Amino acid sequence: MSDGSLLAGLEPRSFWGHFEALTKIARPSRHEEPVIEHVRAWAAANGLEVKQDAGRNLVIPVPATPGRESADTIILQGHLDMVCEKEPSSPNDPAEGRIVLQRDGDWLSADGTTLGADDGVAIAAMMALVEDASLPHGPLELLMTVAEEVGLEGANALDGSLLTGSVLLNLDSEEDGRLTVGCAGSTDTWIRITTAREPAADGAASLSVSVSGGAGGHSGSGIALGRSNAVKVLGRALREAHETVPFRLVSLDGGKSRNAIPRDAAAVVSVAADREADFRSAIETANATIRDAFAKTDAGVSVAVSPGEAAADPWSDAATTTLLDAVALVPTGPLAMSPDFDGLVETSTSLGEAITEGDQLTLHSLSRSSNDAAMPDVIATLDAVAGLAGGTLEEKFNYGGWRPNLDSAALAAGKTVYERLFGERPIVTAVHAGLESAVIAGKVEHDLDMLSFGPQIEFPHSPDERVSIPTVERFWRLLVGFVDEASKPAGA
């Protein structure tokens, strides 16, 4: 770090030096070669061997400091890639290694771009820790993954046989003061229902029914906020209208991503011209009830009718009933709460997308649980919906959950060190979303005792990304304290 650096004078000095060096190296997901070379050169300079798997993840074994040789091996883990976002007008671009640091009091950010504190802090901390011979630790394995930000691709391709450690410290948490001890696994499912279309009745009117205005949000961490799911709201309004006004469904589409609660959905229906007014008023009635249902949790949601494109062959009457029943049956929302943490969802499922293609309606859900044993029942429910509707279920297991273990030795050591250093208790928690550690645990043959923590990082993945400088020092002290505590010889 040069003396003129914005970071001059910050502690720990060697951490900030490594962090600043990383801001000058392009490391977008799937294009980590320059930063891999940087790490290789650093390892060579420090006499360390670098192992790399076919997925391009790095594992760097580090010998224990004197007297700590018999301790359990700890895996320190973070990801090499970063989300490279920029303001359109900014000349800076992380994808080309141009991050210009800026400081606002205790906050460090980048001018017009993402900062890459997610997860540059992990890589810089590993390097600074290993270099400093005065910091005691047992045998370590530095696990630096690639392509975390694109669906945990690197971790998914990890060769777990490169790892021998029994404790894993994930350094990719973004909330200071917290020790994270669990996360959700996930499975995607697609219900596919192919059913008959028939020519539209003579003179039928074509109408479009659309849902918009909901707040949406992350389908895992935001699943218990009571937000409306536009596909479910659309299905509900249509089904309610269908009880009094016959119509035939032409198409039903909504949602943009498996990961987000759908905010928009639209259907086209074919209705007898002399029942159009009745249909409109039935949707209006449904809209009023739906808005009332979400008055406190998603007040913006609404259902509207407009003229639709003429459709020659809607689904048949029977098919329409089946499809609306299927949408009504697909569960969405929290299914079980955590037995360990108040207010945390353990199991949920979210209907993320509805897609009409020809005669087929596809309903794509993402189900999550930190309790792997709970998941088969969720999948069975979706499978039953598919079965009742005469359709099929395709299932894709992504990764298992990380089930909180409150008796974990790693957690006990983390709490002890935290309390000793900061004179207060950490918040022990879990997240209802995916973390790389869950994937990694699934790739390693032996059991891993896992813990995750990090400094305070706000607005990650956006040009507003910033890291709190004082919490970086706390993060560093906790990391140093942990590897010391966990490697102390018995009775010391």
Task: Catalogue the active-site residues.
Answer: 81, 148
Q: How far is the CB of 145 from Zn ion (least distance, A)?
A: 10
Q: How far is the CB of 439 from Zn ion (least distance, A)?
A: 13
Q: How far is the CB of 454 from Zn ion (least distance, A)?
A: 9
Confirm if 143 and 59 have CB atoms less than 8 A apart: yes
Binding pattern for the stretch 289-308 against Zn ion, x by CB under 5 A and - elsewhere: --------------------
Is residue 465 a contact residue for Zn ion (CB under 5 A)?
A: no
Tell me the CA distances in angstroms from 77 to 150, 170, 347, one per residue in order.
17, 5, 26
Pick one of 53, 81, 119, 346: the residue that binds Zn ion (CB under 5 A).
Answer: 119
What is the DSSP secondary-structure string of 250-287? EEEEE-S-TTB----EEEEEEE-GGGHHHHHHHHHHHH
Q: Which of residues 410-449 bind Zn ion (CB under 5 A)?
A: none
Span from 135-143, 170-178, 193-201, 409-417 in contact with Zn ion (CB under 5 A): 170-178
205, β-bridge pairs: 271
Span from 164-172, 197-205, 389-397, 451-459 in contact with Zn ion (CB under 5 A): 164-172
Pick one of 81, 85, 118, 449: the residue that binds Zn ion (CB under 5 A).
Answer: 118
Is residue 32 a contact residue for Zn ion (CB under 5 A)?
A: no
Distance CA 94, CA 117 (A): 12
The H or E element containing residue 124 is helix 117-131
Pair of tokens at residue 435: 């973390």
Q: How far is the CB of 469 from Zn ion (least distance, A)?
A: 19
Q: How far is the CB of 159 from Zn ion (least distance, A)?
A: 21
Span from 25-33, 51-59, 110-118, 336-344 in contact with Zn ion (CB under 5 A): 110-118
What is the DSSP secondary-structure string of 288-332? HHHHHHTTTT-TT-EEEEEE----S-PBPHHHHHHHHHHHHHS--
Span from 97-105, 172-180, 336-344, 442-450 in contact with Zn ion (CB under 5 A): 172-180
Spell out a b/e string for 172-191, using b for 16 or more CB atoms within 10 Å of the CB, else e.
bbbbbebbbbbbbbbbebbb
What sign for the dihedral angle of Cα 267, 269, 274, 279? negative
Tell me the CA distances in angstroms from 2 to 18, 108, 350, one per residue in order.
12, 17, 50
Is residue 172 a contact residue for Zn ion (CB under 5 A)?
A: yes
Q: Total residues at the site for Zn ion (CB under 5 A)? A: 3
Q: Which is nearer to Zn ion, 121 or 260 (CB)?
A: 121
Chain residues binding Zn ion by CB under 5 A are: 118-119, 172
